[in-house]
Structure 1
Amino acid sequence: MTETRWNQSNHERIDTSEIQQRRVVIENSHGEKLVGVLHDTGSTETVVICHGIHSSKDRIPMLTIANVFESAKISSFRFDFAGNGESQGSFQYGNYRREAEDLRSVLQHLRGENREISAIIGHSKGGSVVLLYAAKYKDVQTVVNISGRFFLERGMEWRLGKDYFNKIKENGFIDVRNRKGKFEYRVTEESLMDRLTTNTHEACLSIHENCSACNRSIRIRQIHKESQTVSN
């Protein structure tokens, strides 16, 4: 499909006729199928975009990021973590480290197609995931965290309700509903503890330690909008 867009930064027309979007299915380490979309500009340089909690690759932030890289003629890949969007698996409230392994499967697949991963970008929960990935694997030069929560033990009352810890201890789970009362997802004690035991600060320190042993430094970008509440 041919389309012409405006690049608002320099008011130039962008011809997208050479950009191809291709649906890609990748199997993770648990045998689940992860579904993603490759924005192929013809360049093997590729950035990978990770979504936030209970979200998907098709939400506006991920589409916007992909479009920005299209404008720069850089390929990108946005995908659904297991249990989200079109991907197989069950949604879990925690799963930070497991989602980092999903990201690992994606990067290995793309590198198998001779793509150079120039950056991993995470929005909201995805921001925490890319930091955990970088701390463990240190094989991506640029890591971008957009509005990822740093202290994961904070910010849960508005989503889970007051006294959520005692309630989940008593019942084994909490059902999260939207403002209209419609069920969205279940938070189990196991998934809650996964979040509470994920230490983003420790991961960030590990990235710096790893950098001193690398031949090239890892650039970390943390982007936050102070005036906006981030639900992750």
Structure 2
Amino acid sequence: MILETISFKNSRGDTLSGVLHHPAGTKTNGAMILCHGMESDKNSDKLVFLSQALAERGLLTLRFDFAYVGESSGRFEDITYSGEVDDLKAAYALMQNRQPGKTALLGSSMGGSVALLFAAQEPTVAALVTVAAPLHPENFPRRILTREQIHKWREQGFTIYNGQRLNVSLLEDLQRIDVPASARKINCPVLILHGDADEVVPVEEAYELHGCLPNSKRLTILRGTDHRLSDPVILQSAITEALDWLTEYVS
């Protein structure tokens, strides 16, 4: 396996940082893009492990930092779902140029919602795996803030979340996007992985997402598992299922 550090631009001019995992040998079976969550980045243990495992199965795999995160340019406070969909569009174009043919997506948490929004716009996506993805990210503010704090967010133009500033552009974006409506437009096969003890995204959203998807789909509920899939045994089982699913539809 060969690692290649790359950078590319989104449509807003931000520089996005990524790492490509090239399969060993000359044959490549397809391409993969991994999308991290809101409080993560491309160097998370899970994404690094997945990238290595996918490359070993012959898939050219990209893990990258969304804009304003990790080694990509910009300020975290400017993060929005729509902005990350735009970032994923740039990553997808890059991979289509590098490896014409089938490209699949895996998104964790916010990255899963972003992947769903993007797949609704891009009919050539070969397959998709979501891990603990919010179907209703618009409920996020109400889970972390009081009504008064949300009002103050609108009034002053920002709020503080886990020590990080978030601009009101995120709050406004959450009112514009519609993940359930997007899910109903997705043509590719989708695997949904979700813990029934998820303390961030209620497991009911996984069941609802499964109901929204019109075509080939599978829902796997990970018993006793939290949002981060902290149990190493269950995590390994989930990773194996994701790898098998992706290999089936991309190779």
TM bin, normalised by shorter chain, reads: 0.7 to 0.9
Partner of 1:163: helix, strand, or coil?
A: helix
Q: Distance in 2 between matches of 1:228 and 1:202?
A: 23
Amino acid at match of 2:18: G
RMSD, aligned α-carbons: 2.1
1:220 aligns with 2:202: no
Q: Distance in 2 between matches of 1:93 and 1:52?
A: 15
Using the TM superposition, give the Cα deviation of residue 162 of structure 1 relative to its aligned residue in structure 2, in angstroms: 5.7
Partner of 1:116: helix, strand, or coil?
A: coil
Equivalent in the alignment of 2:154 = 169
Equivalent in the alignment of 1:32 = 14
Q: Write the deviation string for residues 118-169 of structure 1: whole angstroms up to 9, x where unpaired.
A: 3111110000011111111212110111111111122434544563322213
Q: Distance in 1 between matches of 2:100 and 2:20?
A: 11
Runs of 4+ in 1 over 4 A off after TM superposition: none
Task: Note if contact 1:94-1:195 (Cα within 8 Å) is conserved in structure 2.
Answer: no
Task: Note if contact 2:60-2:99 (Cα within 8 Å) is conserved in structure 1.
Answer: no
Q: Distance in 1 between matches of 2:145 and 2:16?
A: 28
Worse-matched range after superposition: 88-97 or 70-79: 88-97
2:178 maps to which of 191, 199, 219: 199
Q: Write the deviation string for residues 2-59 of structure 1: whole angstroms up to 9, x where unpaired.
A: xxxxxxxxxxxxxxxxx01110111111121111000101425211000011321001
Equivalent in the alignment of 1:230 = 200
Structure-2 change in CA distance of 1:33 and 1:170 (3 Å): closer
Alignment of 1:145-164 (within 5 A): 145-161=130-146, 163-164=148-149
Using the TM superposition, give the Cα deviation of residue 70 of structure 1 relative to its aligned residue in structure 2, in angstroms: 3.2
Partner of 1:30: helix, strand, or coil?
A: coil
**Greater per-residue helix proportion:** 2
Task: Note if contact 1:94-1:193 (Cα within 8 Å) is conserved in structure 2.
Answer: no
Q: Distance in 2 between matches of 1:92 and 1:206?
A: 30
Amino acid at match of 2:194: H
Partner of 2:199: helix, strand, or coil?
A: coil
Equivalent in the alignment of 1:57 = 42
Q: State which structure, 1 or 2, has the greater radius of gyration over its C-alpha atoms.
A: 1
TM-score, normalising length from structure 2?
0.72
Structure-2 change in CA distance of 1:116 and 1:161 (3 Å): farther
Equivalent in the alignment of 1:5 = none
Equivalent in the alignment of 2:232 = none
Using the TM superposition, give the Cα deviation of residue 206 of structure 1 relative to its aligned residue in structure 2, in angstroms: 2.1
Q: Distance in 1 between matches of 2:165 and 2:58?
A: 41
Task: Note if contact 1:47-1:75 (Cα within 8 Å) is conserved in structure 2.
Answer: yes
Q: Distance in 2 between matches of 1:85 and 1:41?
A: 25
Q: Report the count of equivalent residues.
A: 199
Amino acid at match of 2:16: L
Structure-2 change in CA distance of 1:146 and 1:65 (3 Å): same
Worse-matched range after superposition: 102-111 or 151-160: 151-160
Identical aligned pairs, as a percentage? 26
Q: Distance in 2 between matches of 1:94 and 1:164?
A: 19
Unaligned runs of 5+ in 1: 1-18, 178-182, 212-217
1:104 aligns with 2:89: yes
